[in-house]
Amino acid sequence: MLAACLEFLGLALCVTGSLLVMVACGLPMWKVTAFIDSNIVVAQTIWDGLWMSCVVQSTGQMQCKVHDSVLALTQDLQTARALTIISAVFGVVALTVTVAGAQCTNCIKDETVKARVVNAGGVIYIISGLFVLVPLCWMANNIIVDFHDPQVPPSKKREIGAAIYIGWAATALLLLGGTLLCCSFSQVVRGAYPIKYAPTKTITVNGEFDKKHYV
């Protein structure tokens, strides 16, 4: 029962984390315009994402433009594209593996094999979280360095956008959920040590208990 609860909780956290990775990958708010000038009245806000850049006017209108060339992108954007997609694919693979070995399914009959399959799914989820964590930290570091660089003009400075925070939350869910799935593989949780019962007393032909059970 404890193993089933850990599997359900871990799988729920991991699925939520994988969905958040996909959301962060598609959102254009990885880099947001930093308002550091003395004039707080601005006409537009610029969003930079992995796939497009958007300009939001003060009137509420938004115009987005897809990046024309992949090779023209900076190295951190190219890496973020690749690793977030790999992380999302790993999330789908891990979901398939975990469901196949879950206690609520009958895809695999052997309990030992089911436990190992769930453990493999948890490991894949952890790898998925690490894959998405690398571009998030790299992008955030570049934003902070450029923000404090005096040679970068104020109009080019950016702040950390909502997509990076969503990605960090997704990473935490994936790592926590994957750890719970790996813990459900434990023999103590799964109850691998069977309960040993004392042998029952046998009755002889004449209806009396066998004397060998008496001391």
Give pLDDT tens digits for 119-152: 999 999 999 999 999 999 999 999 999 888 888 8
Tell me, yes or no, if the pTM score tops 0.75: yes
Cβ proximity of 202 and 209 under 8 Å: yes
- Which comes out higher in pLDDT, residue 152 or 196? 152
Asked if residue 81 is part of any domain, the answer here is yes
Asked if residue 93 is part of any domain, the answer here is yes
Asked if residue 109 is part of any domain, the answer here is yes
- As a whole number, mean pLDDT of residues 95-104 equals 86
Tens digits of per-residue pLDDT, 58-81? 777 888 888 888 888 888 889 999
Name the pLDDT band for 157 (thresholds 50, 70, 90).
Answer: confident
The share of the chain scoring above pLDDT 70, in percent, equals 81
Alpha carbon distance 157, 32 (integer Å): 9
Structural domain boundaries, residue 9: 1-192
Amino acid 14 reads C
Asked if residue 128 is part of any domain, the answer here is yes
Q: In the predicted model, is pLDDT for residue 211 greater than 70? A: no
Partner residues linked to 203 by β-bridges: 209
Asked if residue 155 is part of any domain, the answer here is yes
Asked if residue 104 is part of any domain, the answer here is yes
Q: What is the CATH number of the domain that holds 67?
A: 1.20.140.150
What is residue 196's predicted lDDT score, i.e. its pLDDT?
43
Number of domains in the chain: 1
Asked if residue 59 is part of any domain, the answer here is yes
Alpha carbon distance 177, 125 (integer Å): 8
Alpha carbon distance 7, 22 (integer Å): 22
> Would the CA dihedral through 10, 12, 16, 18 be positive or negative?
positive
Partner residues linked to 47 by β-bridges: 32, 54
Alpha carbon distance 83, 74 (integer Å): 15
Q: In the predicted model, is pLDDT for residue 214 greater than 90? A: no
Asked if residue 136 is part of any domain, the answer here is yes
Cβ proximity of 3 and 183 under 8 Å: no
Q: In the predicted model, is pLDDT for residue 198 greater than 80? A: no
What is residue 135's predicted lDDT score, i.e. its pLDDT?
93
Partner residues linked to 57 by β-bridges: 44
